[in-house]
Amino acid sequence: MKLYIKFQTVQNGPKTRSVIRGEGIHMTDDNKIISIVGEEVGKAQVFDDSLRTIKGINVLKFTDSVVALEHLKINKDDYALMISDLRMPVINGLQLLTTVKDLNPSARTVLTTDFEYDNKLIQECTNRHIINGFIQKPVEPHELVTEINKQIDIIESTNKK
């Protein structure tokens, strides 16, 4: 992976389409996308600050799961990791991460939530390889960086095989 980091919050509005097409994002053939999807993610400066410490990634933040899905469909081969909140309007986190795996089985997925959740459901989704990691919110910046680095390490070790 190259040493490029791009932070961009993607919301509904006039710039949504240019981002989905990839305009304004410096990417090379070996750059991969990490996206974070959640209603509050656009307001969370802690994500930006903590992710700036990870080298070699392009980070997109989506506040709308439908827009995130559109971007994924167009750029599916460039996705390395998607982190999604469980509770999202229209398309929930599990539905979104299932689609990630359907479109790009090698992409890694992490589910987050700050609500109570069905542990059996999370375990079932983990066993079916729909989710590769889980983060209970509130999340500390170092926990986020640790989980992303763990997922990147898995991707890199898999690519070496």
Q: Which spans in 4-111 are helix H?
A: 16-20, 45-51, 65-75, 93-103
State mean pLDDT over 86-114.
Answer: 93
Burial of 160 (0-12, 13-18, 19+ CB in 10 A): exposed
Q: Is the pLDDT of residue 108 over 60?
A: yes
Is-above-0.85 flag for pTM?
Answer: no
Q: Is the pLDDT of residue 40 over 80?
A: no
**pLDDT confidence tier of residue 45, bands split at 50, 70 and 90:** low
pLDDT at 29: 43
Ranges 9-13, 27-31, 36-40, most confident: 36-40
Domains and CATH numbers, the chain: 7-160 (3.40.50.2300)
